[in-house]
Amino acid sequence: MTVDQLLVSLPVAAPLLAAGLSLLLSPSPGAQRVLAITVLTGVLVDGVLLLQRADAHGPVVAQVGGYRVPLGITLVGDRFSALMLVTSTAILLAVLVYAVAQGSSESSVGNVPSVFHPSYLALTAGTALAFLTGDLFNLFVGLEVMLMASYALITLGATRERVRAGSTYIVTSLLSSILLLTAIALVYGVTGTLNLAQLSERTAELPEDVRSWLSVALLVALSIKAAIVPMHWWLPESYPPAPAPITAVFAALLTKVAVYAVIRTQSLLFPRDEPWLLLLALAALTFLVGSIGALAQKNLHGVLSFLLVAHIGFMLLGLGISSAAGIAGSVVYLVHHIVVQAALFLGVGLVERHRGTASLRRLGGLTSTAPLLSVLFLLPALSLGGMPPLAGFVAKLAVLRAAVGADHGLTLGVAGVALLASLATLALVARVWAEASGASPARSCPILIPGTPSSWGRPPAAR
């Protein structure tokens, strides 16, 4: 076994093996924690090495089991997939540490049964497989492994609220998986292969209408998973009831893996020279619906869920421009969005623990009672809004410059909508901050909750 093979196989194989071990270790939660953290650190190191190697020597390829190309499974680590692997593993590791710390420091909040670690490791393996695969069917399997683990995680504890959210989430994901499989069957029926490299050659020879049908079929199937408007309805419904670390991982990773799959399949199998009108229209719709939805929410979870949907639009815009600069912008945005969403949802988890609620109305006085927490929340929020020194600004600038550079009326129009969506995000951040630094709930709504004890938050300091 060469170094190459080891580097691309380990991120998939190690977490799966560890998931099995972790199940065996379930009597001792301590060992489970150590195992999960060790394995995730290992995968992170592996990812960094892979990224370095792919950057220096080009894509790293391994044929699993030694079967030849059309039959066997190919694992490919190029710069895009290695970058996604590193980002996602770093986030997975950070969230795991958060979950462990929360679980050990406060038993009532961290009521995490022993299936948490195995599911989490399986989720890691599925994510890695989805990123590293060089085969369309295997991409489906990777997504499916990841989703299976997420089904277990979202229904942890099986309270009434979680069962409800879980049923919606599972049925929706399942429908999208079946649609994806149907699209894959159609692709195979027409081309006779599922290897992405072979497919990119064979789709070029197809008649124009068949190409468009296949492209749209794949897009529709993946857009449910990626929460692209009008297929986003399940997301704000199903994320909030889960525990904070799980919501953070879902928000940061699951939709983004699907976006990765969209970028990968569309840019590789159906390359376009002209801007893709359908995707640009979807991007504009996503911006509008996400932003307006976020403005209407009364709860931090709801605000963040809708903002998550709105900002998927940036990645669609970058891909829809169909230029190298546009796709590069999408990739930068993808990385930025994973990190920021995880940070924001973890922040909400802390706020909820501090206050017992994530309702916007009850945030008053947070900046004075928990200044550090407020800053921790503000930084990623500003980044999401695109304030200059932060990552969000760089990512937005990259996408918008590509949109302007494409010199096409529609890309310019959608770029305008994107700017509006950014403004809406900033306005929301400002509103949340105003609520948080404003009067304590007892003062701000004395009629609604007359008997609120003053210990909920000090009255604002005179300033």
Partner 1 sequence: MLLGGGLVVAAGYGVAGLLTSGDLLHGTVVHVELPVLPTYELPTSLVFEVGVLMIVVGLALDVLRTLGGEQEKMNAANLTMALLVGSLFSAGVYLLLSRSLVRVVMGVVLLGHATNLLLLQSGGRAGAPPVSGEAGYEAVADPLPQAMALTAIVITFAVSALLLALAHRSHELNDNEEVPTHSGPDEEDP
Q: Which is nearer to partner 1, 101 or 296 (CB)?
A: 296
Region of 34-42, 327-335, 340-348, 356-364 interacting with partner 1 (CB under 8 A): 356-364
Both structure tokens of 251: 């928000």
Q: Applying CB under 8 A, does 20 fall inside the site for partner 1?
A: no
Region of 5-13, 115-123, 170-178, 363-371 interacting with partner 1 (CB under 8 A): 170-178
Q: Applying CB under 8 A, does 357 fall inside the site for partner 1?
A: yes
Q: How far is the CB of 82 from partner 1 (least distance, A)?
A: 26
Q: How far is the CB of 76 from partner 1 (least distance, A)?
A: 19
Q: Applying CB under 8 A, does 452 fall inside the site for partner 1?
A: no
Region of 91-99, 140-148, 318-326, 418-426 interacting with partner 1 (CB under 8 A): 140-148
Q: How far is the CB of 174 from partner 1 (least distance, A)?
A: 6
Q: Which is nearer to partner 1, 4 or 237 (CB)?
A: 237
| Among 190, 220, 295, 350, interactor with partner 1 by CB under 8 A | 190
Distance from C-alpha of 424 to C-alpha of 406, rounded to nearest angstrom: 25
Q: How far is the CB of 179 from partner 1 (least distance, A)?
A: 9
For 229-253, the DSSP string reads: TTS-THHHHHSTTS-HHHHHHIIII
Distance from C-alpha of 337 to C-alpha of 344, rounded to nearest angstrom: 10
Distance from C-alpha of 325 to C-alpha of 330, rounded to nearest angstrom: 9
Which residue, among 166, 158, 351, has the nearest Cα to 250 in the 3D structure? 166
By the 8 A CB rule, do 386 and 399 touch? no
Please tell me the number of Cα atoms within 13 Å of 84 on its side-chain side: 30
By the 8 A CB rule, do 394 and 336 touch? yes
Q: How far is the CB of 194 from partner 1 (least distance, A)?
A: 7
- DSSP-based three-state secondary structure for 442: helix
Q: How far is CA 285 from CA 224, 256, 303, 316, 411, in A?
A: 15, 18, 18, 11, 13
Burial of 1 (0-12, 13-18, 19+ CB in 10 A): exposed
Q: Which is nearer to partner 1, 27 or 450 (CB)?
A: 450
| Among 225, 301, 337, 396, interactor with partner 1 by CB under 8 A | 301
Q: How far is the CB of 284 from partner 1 (least distance, A)?
A: 22
- DSSP-based three-state secondary structure for 331: helix
Total site size for partner 1, rule CB under 8 A: 50
Q: Which residues bind partner 1 (CB under 8 A)?
A: 70-71, 137, 141, 144, 148, 151, 155, 158, 160-161, 163-164, 166-168, 170-171, 174-175, 177-178, 181-182, 184-186, 188-190, 192, 194, 206-207, 210, 213, 237, 240-241, 297-299, 301-302, 357-359, 361, 448-449
